[in-house]
Amino acid sequence: MTIKPLHNHVFISRIARETVSKGGFLFADIVLKAPEEGTVLAVGEGLPNDDGVSYPLDVKVGDRVLFGQAVGSDIKIDGKTVLILKESDLLGVYED
């Protein structure tokens, strides 16, 4: 099954966060409340303005992004969990 994000929505694959340091120490809860990271899987065409013209989103497929913990909705596509959120819910994009 194929699902395409609409308008200004983005599909994200979460990147698992480490809960134990390389030295074997458990991270405190406050560290685990930091923004989450993910990889963009698909993007919508953009939200149309009053003239009906859609402008492309600032993120593209393959971008590594930061987002808050309480945003979006998780769904399953072909057995994989994918996060759907609006582009405005993204906090930043990693640059090379």
**pLDDT greater at residue 65 or residue 1:** 65
Mean pLDDT estimate for the chain: 84
The reply to whether 47 falls in a domain is yes
pLDDT at residue 62, rounded to an integer: 95
**pLDDT greater at residue 78 or residue 63:** 63
**pLDDT greater at residue 3 or residue 44:** 44
Which residues pair with residue 37 across a beta bridge? 66
Mean pLDDT, rounded, for 63-70: 90
pLDDT at residue 35, rounded to an integer: 78
Our count of domains for the chain comes to: 1
Total residue count of the chain as it appears in this document: 96
| Pick from 44, 38, 82: nearest CA to 63 | 38
Mean pLDDT, rounded, for 12-39: 71
The reply to whether 95 falls in a domain is no
Return the percentage of the chain with pLDDT > 90, whole number.
41
The reply to whether 62 falls in a domain is yes
Give yes or no for a contact between 18 and 27, defined as CB atoms under 8 angstroms apart: yes
Q: Where are the beta strands (DSSP E) in 46-89?
A: 64-67, 73-77, 80-86
The reply to whether 63 falls in a domain is yes
Whole-model pTM: value is 0.78
pLDDT at residue 10, rounded to an integer: 95
**pLDDT greater at residue 25 or residue 48:** 48
Q: C-alpha 60: how far from its chain's center?
A: 11
> Which CATH number covers residue 42?
2.30.33.40
